[in-house]
């Protein structure tokens, strides 16, 4: 069982991912803004983080940069799940330290596979 933190200000997406990933056998913590998300990540030390970009208090990019600064969390894979769809946005997402980038609207099944792939690639 892997632990996953989902940070998204959209309650539908939070709810959906909570159910979906729990059904897939993971333990999920969901937060609605960047700050709470960062706190949850520090607390849980998850195996994967799913991050929205545009959120109140702290953007996903900032959360990711914070993670990368901290050596103890620099290796946690981050998957951006965002409506920002321009080429330059994707570049910025990866530049900030993202490991994968999924554009909304998204397919929950695809996302689930991507998370599995990230989990498989990360040594534990």
Partner 1 sequence: MTTATVLLIAATLNLVLIIALSLSTAVWKARRERRARRHEEELAQLRPVMMRYLATWEDGDAHDLADILIAYRGVTTSFEELVAGLLPKLRGADRSMLVDILRRRGTIEDARMGTLSRLPVRRYRAVELLGAAGVSEGIPEATRLLGDRNTDVRLAAVRALGRIGTAEAAAGLLEHLDSEEALKHPIPPHPVTMALLRIGTDATDALVRSLEADSVEVRTICAEVLGVLGVYPAVSGLQVRARVDPSVSVRLGAAHALGRLSMPSSVDDLTAMLRTEEEVEVIAAACTALGRIADPASLPPLEQAVAHEHPTVRVAAAMALVAFGDTGLDRLREIAQQDAEGGDAAREVLARNSIATNTTPLISY
Partner 2 sequence: MRDFLESAVIGFNSFVIIYFLALNSLYLVIVLIAARAQRRAQRMSSETALEDLFANPLTPGVSVLVPAYNEEPSIVSSVHSILDLRYPQLEVVIVDDGSTDGTFDVLQQEFELQASTRVAAGVVETVGTVNSVHISRDGQIVVIRKENARRRGDALNVALEYSRYPLVCMIDADSVLEKDALMHVVRPFVDDPERVAASGGAIRPINGCPTERGMILEKRLPKAWAPRIQVVEYLRSFLLGRVGWSAFNGLMIISGAFGLFRRDLVQQIGGMTADSLAEDADLVNGLHYRLRKEKQDYRIVFVPHPVCWTEVPENLKILSRQRRRWSHGLLEVLWRFRAMIANPRYGRMGMLVLPYYLVFELLTPIVEILGLICLPMGLAFGILNWQAAVLYALVAIGYGILLSVVAIAVDDVSYKTYRRWKDLGILLVAAFLENFGFRQLHAFWRLRGLWSGIRGSNAAWGEMPRVGFKDTSGAATN
- When CB distances are held under 5 to 8 angstroms depending on the partner's kind, the choice from partner 2, partner 1, none that residue 69 binds is none
- When binding is defined by CB under 8 A, the residue of 15, 23, 85, 110 that contacts partner 2 is 85
**3 state DSSP class of 43:** helix
Of 110, 92, 77, nearest to 2 by C-alpha is 77
Instruction: Based on the shown chain and the rule CB under 8 A, indicate whether residue 9 belongs to the binding site for partner 1.
Output: no
Compose the 16-55 pattern: x for residues touching partner 1 by CB under 8 A, - for all others: x-xxx-xx--------------------------------
Using the contact rule CB under 8 A, the part of the chain among 11-19, 26-34, 44-52, 68-76 near partner 1 is 11-19
* Contact positions with partner 1 (CB under 8 A) in 51-110: 104-110
Residue-wise DSSP of 51-101: E-SS-SSS-HHHHHHHHHHSTTTTTS-EEEEES--SHHHHHHHHHTT-SEE
Residue numbers at the binding site for partner 2 (CB under 8 A): 54, 56-59, 83, 85-86, 88, 92
């Amino acid at each position: 069982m892997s632990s996953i933190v989902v940070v998204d200000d959209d309650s539908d997406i939070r709810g959906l991912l909570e159910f979906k990933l729990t059904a897939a056998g993971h333990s999920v913590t969901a937060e609605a803004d960047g700050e709470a998300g960062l706190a949850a990540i520090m607390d849980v030390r998850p195996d994967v983080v799913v991050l929205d970009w545009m959120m109140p208090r702290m953007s996903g990019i900032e959360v990711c940069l914070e993670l990368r600064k901290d050596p103890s969390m620099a290796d946690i894979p981050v998957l951006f799940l965002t409506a920002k769809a321009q080429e330059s946005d994707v570049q910025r997402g990866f530049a900030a330290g993202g490991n994968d980038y999924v554009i909304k609207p998204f397919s929950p099944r695809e996302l689930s596979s991507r998370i599995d792939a990230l989990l498989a690639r990360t040594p534990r």
